[in-house]
Structure 1
């Protein structure tokens, strides 16, 4: 399975831009919000890991778009940082083809 970053039109801009594949776009939004929250607190990945109970490498992989995070990981990170990391869910500009 390809990583979210590999599904981006321009992988080098990750997590910038948008991604056509809905799942990868959700991960991109989570990654961008996570990066902003960590930067705002001036935390290291080790501090984010200690506060959330999520492995530091798992956080690094999420930030890099190299992994598909599970619900528990996103919830733990959001709770530790005190921010909502979930995508907005108000996306009406694309539809899935079945």
Structure 2
């Protein structure tokens, strides 16, 4: 099991993201609702899961298992990207999304 992630104190001033969402995500990560995990099998839309490789703080085996549970999921790993794949490797991120959105045979 992953060690609990601590929520840092809210920085002063305006934030470029919703601080309440940060708190909620950390709480869910630290104590996930098992119904969420089970519900993945009911997703009926094609789903792209993009992983950032071992540089990400997200456990990569969790993303792989998530993609396995979703009936029509594709897992793409962009090595060396970390958590912010779209910022760190925008070309590879765009290629993964473009390929995923391309018409299927």
Please indicate, yes or no, whether the TM-score normalized by the shorter chain is above 0.5. no
The answer to which structure has the higher helix fraction is 1
TM-score (structure 1 length as normaliser): 0.30
Larger-gyration structure (1/2): 2
Higher RCO (C-alpha 8 Å, min separation 6): 1
The answer to which structure has the higher strand fraction is 2
